A and B are shown apart, each in its own frame.
Chain A
Amino acid sequence: MRLIKYAVGSSIGRKQVVALTGLLLVGFLASHLSGNLLILFGPEAFDSYAEFLAAHPLLIPAEIGLAAVFITHIVWGLWVSFQNRAARPDRYEVNENEGGRTPGSATMKYTGVMTLIYLLIHIYTMKIQHVAGTSLWNHAVNWFEIAPYTLFYLFAMVGLGLHLSHGLKSAAQTFGINHPRYTPVIEIVGFVLAVGFGVGFGILPIWSLTVGSQL
C-alpha cells in the first residue's frame, strides 16, 4: 500500500519517479548519441550499426522498456506540473525572482514539452518513414537538408540541453544527495553533460550539411 501511495499519491514519491526515469533516459541518450555519432564516420559505419540494431532480438523488448520509461517520465512530469499550477490559483501581480532560479529550472516544463514534440517528429521521420533495407544514413542526411526541420532540430537540442542542465542536479537533490563535497561536482558534471548532449546532437546536422552532403 505504502509503495503505491508513494509512487502515485505523494509529492516526494512522484518527484522521485520523475527523477529516476529522467536518469534512465540520460543513460539512453548517452547510448543513442554514441550510436548517432557514427554518422560522422560515413554511411558504411552508421548503416551497419543501424542494421545490427534492427536485427537484434532484444530490440523490441528494449523499445517497449524505453517507451514505458519515456511515458512514465512525461505523464508524471506533466502531472507534477499541473499540480504545481493548481497550488497557486491566484497569481502574483509582480513576479520577481529571489535568485534561486536558473534558465534551465525556470523553463523545465516548456523544454520538456518541446522535447516531447521533437520526439514524436523524430520517431515519425527516422523510424516510421524510413524504408527498411535502405540506407538510414542517406535518409537522415537528406532530412537535415530541409532547412525548417534542421532549424527545429537545433532549437530542440538547445531545449534538451537546458532541460538537462537542471534535470541532472535536480534528480540528485530529489534523491537526497546534497553534500558540500559532492554537490558542486554533481553541478559541474550535470552542466558538462547538458552542454555535451546539446552540442553532440547539434553537431550532426551541421556536419551533414557541410561535410556529409559532399560524400
Chain B
Amino acid sequence: MNLTLRVWRQKDASSEGQFETYEAQDISPDQSFLEMLDAVNEDLIVAGKAPIAFDHDCREGICGTCSLVIDGRAHGPDSGKTTCSLHMRRFSDGDNIVIEPFRAKAFPVVRDLVTDRSSFDRIIQSGGYISVKTGSAVEANAMPVPKENSDLAMDAAACIGCGACVAACPNASAMLFIGAKVSQMALLPQGQPEREQRVLKMVDTHDAEGFGNCTNEYECMKACPKEIDVANIARLNREYLKATITTRD
C-alpha cells in the first residue's frame, strides 16, 4: 500500500517546527506503524535527509515508550493499543495520515515526534514508591489482601506510563496516570504507611509540572492503551481530600 504522511518535524526544543509531507511507498499491511516509519526513514537516509525521530523500545506494547498522535488520536485509531501494536492493515491504500507528537506543556518536544516525558518520572520520584526494605517474601497468609482489592490494584498497576492520557486529555492533565499510581499502592497493605504523604506530594508535583486540571471528560480512559479506569481518578480525588483533612502538616 502507498500512503501520504504529514509529519511534524522540529529540529530541537528551541526551534520552530512544521509539518512535512512524505510518501510511504510499498508498505505491507503486516508492518506495524513504527516499522512503516522505519521504512520511510530508510528512504530519507538514502536520500541524504535527516530521519524522523520517534520514541520506541520494546515494540510489543508493554514498555510505554512509543507515543504519537495519529490523525488526532493518541496511539492511533484503535483503543487499548500502543502505536507499536498498531498495524498498517488498519489503514487503506492511498490514506493521508497526520502524525504529531504528544502535545502538553509538561511534555516538551525534544525533536520531531520525541517528547520529554521525564515529568512523569519526577511525579513518581515525589511519592510513587514504597520506602521499606521488603526482604524475602513473607508467608502468604501473614498479609491478607481481599481478592477484589488485589484485582483493582493489578488493574491500576497495568499503567505503562506512556502519557497517552495527557496527550488525549483536552486539558493535558495527568490525573489518570497519578490516579493509577496512587491507587495501586492505596489498595494494598504495603502502601499504607506513606499513603497520605504520597498522594499529597504526587498531586503537588503534578501541578508544579504544568499539567492541566481534570474536567472528567474521560478521553484519557478511551485513549489509554491499558484501558485504566477513571474510577482510579475518583479514588485519587478521595485520597487527596482525605489526606488534606487528616494530615498534621
Contact = CB atoms under 8 A, between A and B. Distances in A.
A94 B172 contact: no
Contact of B105 (A9, A86, A92, A102): A86
Interface size grouping (class) on chain B = 35 or more
Contacts of B190: none
Interface stretch (B31-39, B40-48, B137-145, B207-215): B207-215
Contact of A178 (B171, B230, B240, B244): B230
B71, B170, B173, B211: residue with the most chain A Cβ atoms closer than 10 Å: B170
Interface string B1-37: 0000010100000000001000000000000000000
B212 A173 contact: no
A13 to B, nearest CB: 7
Contacts of A9: 207
A169 B223 CA distance: 21
Chain A interface size band reads 35 or more
A2 B168 contact: no
A16 B237 contact: yes
Contact of B238 (A15, A80, A108, A176): A176
Contacts of A105: 215-217
Contacts of A1: 249
A170 B230 CA distance: 12
Nearest to A95: B72
A15 B249 contact: no
B219 A97 contact: yes
Interface centre among A1, A86, A173, by most chain B C-beta atoms within 10 angstroms, is A173
Contacts of A100: 217-222
A11 interface: yes
Nearest to A102: B217
Contacts of A63: none
B93 interface: no
Interface in B211-249: 211-223, 230-231, 233-241, 244, 247, 249
B123 interface: no
Contacts of B240: 10, 12-13
A15 to B, nearest CB: 6
Interface string A71-92: 0000000001001101111111
A101 B170 contact: yes
A180 to B, nearest CB: 8
Interface in A1-40: 1-3, 6, 9-16
B236 A12 contact: yes
Nearest to B106: A87
Nearest to A77: B215
Nearest to B209: A87
B210 to A, nearest CB: 6
B103 A80 contact: no
B179 to A, nearest CB: 10
Contacts of B100: 92-94
A91 B203 CA distance: 25
Contact of B222 (A94, A98, A108): A98
B242 to A, nearest CB: 9
Nearest to B244: A6
B204 interface: yes
Contacts of A86: 105, 210, 212
A11 B203 CA distance: 8
A6 B240 CA distance: 9
B62 interface: no
Interface in B43-77: 69, 71-74
A84 B241 contact: no
Contacts of B207: 9-11
B212 A99 contact: no
Nearest to A6: B244
A6 to B, nearest CB: 5
A92 B215 contact: no
B156 interface: no
Nearest to B220: A100
Nearest to B224: A98
A88 B247 contact: no
B160 interface: no
A174 interface: yes
Interface of B: 6, 8, 19, 69, 71-74, 79, 98, 100, 103-106, 168, 170-173, 175, 200, 203-204, 206-207, 210-223, 230-231, 233-241, 244, 247, 249
